[in-house]
Amino acid sequence: MLLPFVAVGLLFYFLMIRPQRKEQSRRDLMLAAVKKNDRVLTAGGIYGVVTNVHREINEVTIRVDETTGTKMRVTLNSIASVLGDEPSEDAASK
């Protein structure tokens, strides 16, 4: 009688809990590695370049427009993905 409950519990763990923990650890590592000049995508769909990171207050400043220099302050957790470093001018001219 106890065996079906144990089987369902193990199935639930391997199909739901374990993958979620792996994804959360990958996200934590990504957010810990955010640095200046990284291109990022926020959860709201805004692309920008990181100009400043304040880990102690959980805040990141991103530049969203090159021509006007418009900047936004967002929480570190609102970064959905890091797209990489900003391309340098030398690479852009090639």
pLDDT digits (tens, 9 = 90+) for 3-34: 889 999 999 888 888 999 999 999 999 999 99
- For the full predicted model, state whether its pTM sits above 0.75: no
pLDDT digits (tens, 9 = 90+) for 34-52: 999 999 999 999 999 999 9
Mapping DSSP to helix (H, G, I), strand (E, B) and coil, where does residue 53 land?
A: strand
Give the other-Cβ count within 10 Å of 53's Cβ: 17
Residue with tokens 């990489």: 84
Q: What are the sequence ranges of the domains in the chain? A: 1-32, 35-86
Which CATH architecture does the domain made up of 35-86 adopt?
Answer: Roll (2.30)
Question: How does DSSP classify residue 49?
Answer: E
Give the other-Cβ count within 10 Å of 59's Cβ: 14
Dist CA 6 CA 12 (whole Å):
10
Residue with tokens 């920008």: 48
